[in-house]
Structures are given as structure tokens and as C-alpha cells.
Amino acid sequence: MRQKMQKTVSGRGIRLSTDALVDVGNLDENGNIHAADDPRCAFHKGNLLWHSDVTFDAVRANYSILAAHQVPPDRVDTEFADMRAAYDTLDDAMKKCVEDLSAEHSMWYSRSLGGMPDPGPDVKVTRRLVQVHPRTGRRSLCLASHASHVIGWLTEGGRKLLDELTAHATRLEFVFRHQWRVGDMVMWDNQQTMHRGTPFDDTRYARDMRRVTVLEGCDTGFGLRREGPGH
Ligand SMILES: [Fe+2]
């Protein structure tokens, strides 16, 4: 059986009718906007960092499908970065440098960057920085705010490398920006893209977004991710 997430966000209630839907909005179980001191606010701040969904889990996500039920009056977008183009445009020396490197991913690392307190021991997963697509054979970079450090490197040097690669991968020419409208549904391939939300006044405006996550090796749809808070 797949390893379950070991921690949840304190005070998190269930708002949606099925646990196959991941709640990535800012409403509580009563339909009210989270209070500013609600731990879920800090949790969702992690969504504003560049990441691919569920890289911290032993079974990675293939596809995410996100639907907009309610959006703020001011535009609030999601940006997507093409990690194939990011790899292709590395110079040869950098391609050689990263080819055999791996990074450690954990959900709570990215959440600590969003302002959540350190939860203590956590599930960690090691992933290669260069991934080869199983069907096309094309290489892409595997980064994400869930990646804390490079295995075998001193922390500072590894972080510097991850930051440099992320800055390269998210250059404007590699990024598509979707402006959400109610009723939109967007599907993306987590194994070849990163994404991030853009900030808005989340203590004033409601944003109701719901996601389904299709797990690696489960293209038929039978592998929906059913536990854990997502991202
Ligand atoms: Fe995400």
C-alpha cells in the first residue's frame, strides 16, 4: 500500500463531498474565508512558490486537473513553466553537472517557506534533477519548492544550484500564464511542468478551486490521489 502522508494542517475541515477532490481554495468547511491567523492561510502560501504537484510523495503525480468555482474580482492567475525547454536550454556544462544529481523533496519544507512552523520529522523523497519521460524519452528538469537540498552537496551550494536552475526554468519565454474565469478547467502534466499561483487578497476575496490529481502509472483515472492536502 502506498505510504500515506503523516501530517495534516491543524484545524483543517472537510468542505468537499469526496476526498478525491483536493480543496485548494481559501474557504473553510462553512464556506467562510479563512481568518488571517488560520494555519491553512500559511499552508496555501506555499502554492505561490514554483512547484510540481506531489513530488514529495513516493508516487508522483502525472496530471493535475484544476477547476475554478469562484475567483476573486481582480485577476488571479496560475503560471506554468515548461521544464523540457528549461533542460534543453541549459549549456552543456550544466547538463553534465545535473545529469546524475538528486534532490530531497518534502511537503513540509515548502510549507515552512510559506511561513508554517517546522512540523518536525517528515516524509522525504529523493528525486533526480533530470527526468526522462517514459514514453517520449525527452529530458526535463525536476525542481520544485518541495526540494530542500541536493543530495551529497553542502546545503548552501545545493540551494544555490536549485535556485539558479529555478530562475532559469521560469524565465518569461518558458512560462504560460492562465487567467482564471469561473467554469475554467485546466489540466497539466506535472512531470514536464512547474506551476505557481499568483497572490491576491485572500482575507477579503473568496477563491474556490478544486483539483483532481492523477498518479504516476494511473493514466486510466483509477489512481486518483485521495489523501493529503495536495500540492
Ligand atoms: Fe500545485
- CATH code of residue 178: 3.60.130.10
Distance 92 CA to ligand 1 centre (A): 30
pLDDT digits (tens, 9 = 90+) for 97-136: 999 999 999 988 888 887 777 666 778 999 999 999 988 9
Distance 93 CA to ligand 1 centre (A): 31
Kindly state whether residue 144 falls inside one of the protein's structural domains. Answer: yes
Distance 42 CA to ligand 1 centre (A): 15
* pTM for this prediction: 0.86
Q: Which residues surround ligand 1, an ion (CB under 5 A)?
A: 53, 231
- HSE-CB for 212 with a 13 A CA cutoff: 15
pLDDT value at 35 more than 70: yes
Neighbours of 58 (CB within 10 A): 10
Kindly state whether residue 1 falls inside one of the protein's structural domains. Answer: no
Distance 78 CA to ligand 1 centre (A): 9
Residue 10 pLDDT: 38
What is the residue range of 123's domain? 22-215
Kindly state whether residue 181 falls inside one of the protein's structural domains. Answer: yes
Whether the Cβ atoms of residue 101 and residue 222 lie closer than 8 Å to each other: no
30: burial class by Cβ within 10 Å (0-12, 13-18, 19+)?
exposed
pLDDT band at 231 (very low <50, low <70, confident <90, very high): low
For residue 84, the Cα-to-chain-centroid distance in whole angstroms is 17
Residue 54 pLDDT: 92
Q: In what order do the strands lie in the sheet with 61-70?
A: 22-23, 208-215, 61-70, 185-189
Kindly state whether residue 9 falls inside one of the protein's structural domains. Answer: no
Mean pLDDT of the chain: 86
Distance 143 CA to ligand 1 centre (A): 13
Distance 211 CA to ligand 1 centre (A): 9
Kindly state whether residue 225 falls inside one of the protein's structural domains. Answer: no
Residue 52 pLDDT: 96
The domain total for the chain is: 1
Q: How far apart are CA 142 and CA 151, in angstroms?
A: 14
Kindly state whether residue 228 falls inside one of the protein's structural domains. Answer: no
Kindly state whether residue 121 falls inside one of the protein's structural domains. Answer: yes
Kindly state whether residue 98 falls inside one of the protein's structural domains. Answer: yes
pLDDT value at 31 more than 90: no
